[in-house]
Structure 1
Amino acid sequence: MDVTFLASVTDHAGPFATVCADVTHITENADAELDLRVRALADQLTEQGAPEAVVEAVRGRLLEGNEGGEAGTYRGRAVVAGPDGTVLFDAPLAAAPRTETAEWSPLPDLVTVLRALPGRIPHIVVVADRVGADITVATAPGLPTLEKTIEGETHLMRKVQVGGWAHHRYQHTAENVWISNVQQVVDEIDTLVEESGARFVLVAGDIRARQIFTDRATPKIQDVLVDMDEGGRAEGADRSVIDQRVEELVAENDAAEQARVLEQVEAATAHGLALTGTAPVVEALRKAQVETLVLADEPGDEQLYIGTGPLEIGLSQEDMAALGVTDAAQVPADRALLRAAVGSNAGVVVVPRSALPDGAPVAAVLRYTDDSTPS
């Protein structure tokens, strides 16, 4: 997964407040219940030494914009704030967290946030009819989705039974209008697939519009196209079936990505382009050798040392002294590793620990090797 969106946090100096909260708002007493939950989280930050400006910034973000949840919908929200109260990250979670967390620490707990974010797979949703389409583009978790609407020609949209010599002309004209409208959608989606790196394009809506879209889709779209019969564009149409299908496709692609990366680790190991274990991965991260960092979902209690720069990372104080860092902080290993990955533009994938070789907490696929790379 591309985690460069987290640079908005890791580029700043700490300490940080990291909160994963349940902001469900679906009952008559939702306002009071939410206020109590947020107050408890704010108290936890205060008890850990977070300044009032930070506490108030987090409290404000958690309380705003949570009205209107549908019955049966449980929602979560992640907020990260810097030492002056600036909110550096604010995004919805895939679901309300089972356990709410609030922490004031030298490094933000971005690994916990990363595991809970929705939309880890870039994708496009197209809800089409014969006039145009509503398009949603999700790129990376934590970034806003792009929403676009394409409206085509509506003149002579309906095929009519006029009889006589004009009948076929009217029929042909309406069909041409439909095709022209859908072609505009195809052209737009072709560009968006290229820009977003979408792993799938889900097309829902009117059956004839979907048929035209599928027939005229470019090879680039065809490679990632998924068609579904349900869902519509009309006002008041039920979008829940589309949202459910998106969740299924994201989960399928996420699982496929994990499997692909693990296969890549195995294959790269045979050629000396993969490392397993904390010590060799730390050394590779310092040299920006890592192309993909693979973190275990259960990292354990291992600690690493860090400096102010993301690639200032080591196993000991001696390591940090060798890097010229005299005031190193000790932090959980997975946080230090993720920070270094963001700082070196490496991708990150979180997998079950049992899937990693020998149950290691971390592995890495390398961009290159040098004479010091372990064989």
Structure 2
Amino acid sequence: MDLAFLHPLYEHPGPWASVYVDLSRHAEDTPHQRQLTAEAMSRELAGQGADEATCRAVRDAIAELKHSPEPHGRALFARAGKVALDPPLARAPQRDRAVWAPLPRATPLLDLTGEDAVAVVAYIDRRGADFELRSALAREKAGSVTGRQWPVHRTGSADWSERHFQLRVENTWEHNAAEIADALAVCQEETRADLLILVGDDRERQTVHERLPKRLHERVVAARHGAGSRLLDGDVEEARATHVRRHAEAELERFLAARAPDEEGRARAAEGVPALIEAAREHRIDELVVRPDGSDIHREVWIGEDADQLAVRRTDLKILGEQNSWSARVDDALLRSVVATNAPAISLTPVEAAREQDIPAGGLGALLRWP
């Protein structure tokens, strides 16, 4: 997951209010329920020591969502009486929650917004194709392409003139398939889609697939439905979830390969809180790997004002020359560090039936830029 959008959270010192709100329920009394949620989250923050201005900012921001049609939820991060960031969520949180802490509680975003695979669905027939952009938050038209309109259908006759006509049909379809593939490649580049879902007859899908650039072949998914079908939300979600799971599995495989020492006994992966803190201080983390239910996620470490000022013990920070220090959760501290060094992070939640020995120790690991 690219964490660049979190930069505003680390441009100012804390403490921070981090709030996750479920907006997935829509009923007649929804506006009233969301007003109650706004007041409850404000009280929760106040009970944890948040200042009145920040509690009010959070309450007002949630209250403004009373009539929101958003399908999942929203995260809000606030300090000093202002909401600094309020990203929509790609999945609904299990419950509404509010935290007041020295650093933003951003780890849940890895599951709630991370790896929101974007798909372009191409509805193909012999005359052209319609494109539709699908993600957890969007469903919109993404263009169309119209090929040659005549001739497009075969006949059953076998005389020379009909065979000649059928050859022209084939030429027309080959031309149209090439145009569809070109347009689909452009659409993928413009939307940065992770998946291309092809809907149509088997031969039509295959012909378009073959004409796509090779760099896109691994992104193609063939829909189970035939020509004239419109994919249901469940079909698209299944394809998107499969893509996310395979990506997480591939990243775990990278971590496991990097965990093995090289000929000089050095590994290009780290795990365990002390090793990760050291790697973060030295800007060596290339990708943070997180299992949100890991035993070390809630562990407290010590942080300074800058992202690379973190240590297992408070005395270690003083040795490094940092005079001001605060206790913070290790996942919050590591996320701040990787955002500062433009490194990504990934949650291993989608990985199914992973062996315990394959999960980073304590649920936290990292691929390193150098051993």
Q: Normalising by structure 2, report the TM-score.
A: 0.78
Partner of 1:321: 318
**Residue type matched to 2:69 in 1?**
N
Q: How does 1:149-228 map to 2 (within 5 A)?
A: 149-153=143-147, 155-156=149-150, 159=153, 176=171, 178-190=173-185, 200-205=195-200, 207=202, 209-228=204-223
Give unmatched runs, 5+ long, in structure 1.
Answer: 70-74, 370-375
User: How many aligned positions are there?
Assistant: 356
Matched, 1:24 2:21: no
Match of 1:310 among 307, 312, 331: 307
Partner of 2:243: 250
Q: Partner of 1:230: helix, strand, or coil?
A: coil
Q: How far apart are 1:248 and its partner, in Å? A: 3.4
> Could you say if the C-alpha distance between residues 364 and 12 of structure 1 is closer, same or farther in structure 2, counting changes exceeding 3 Å?
same
Partner of 2:336: 339
Separation (CA, whole Å) in 1 of partners of 2:289 and 2:74: 25
Q: Partner of 2:82: helix, strand, or coil?
A: coil
> Could you say if the C-alpha distance between residues 187 and 334 of structure 1 is closer, same or farther in structure 2, counting changes exceeding 3 Å?
same
Partner of 2:77: 80
Deviations 1:89-124 (A, max 9, x none): 312232x32232112322111112222335x16553
Deviations 1:247-305 (A, max 9, x none): 43134314413531442343257533222321222111111111122234223532122
Q: How far apart are 1:316 and its partner, in Å? A: 3.0
Partner of 1:290: 285
Separation (CA, whole Å) in 2 of partners of 1:306 and 1:146: 44
Q: How far apart are 1:327 and its partner, in Å? A: 2.1
Give unmatched runs, 5+ long, in structure 2.
Answer: 350-354
Q: How does 1:43-62 map to 2 (within 5 A)?
A: 43-48=43-48, 49-50=50-51, 51=53, 52-60=55-63, 62=65
Separation (CA, whole Å) in 2 of partners of 1:341 and 1:125: 31
C-alpha RMSD of matched pairs (Å) = 3.8
Q: How far apart are 1:332 and its partner, in Å? A: 0.7
Q: How far apart are 1:331 and its partner, in Å? A: 0.8
Q: How does 1:121-132 map to 2 (within 5 A)?
A: 122-130=117-125, 131-132=128-129
**Residue type matched to 1:23 in 2?**
L
Partner of 1:372: none
Partner of 1:72: none
Separation (CA, whole Å) in 1 of partners of 2:66 and 2:79: 18
Partner of 1:66: 69
Asked if structure 1 preserves the Cα contact closer than 8 Å seen for 2:221 and 2:239, the reply is no
Partner of 1:364: 366
Q: Partner of 1:110: helix, strand, or coil?
A: coil
Separation (CA, whole Å) in 2 of partners of 1:266 and 1:76: 36
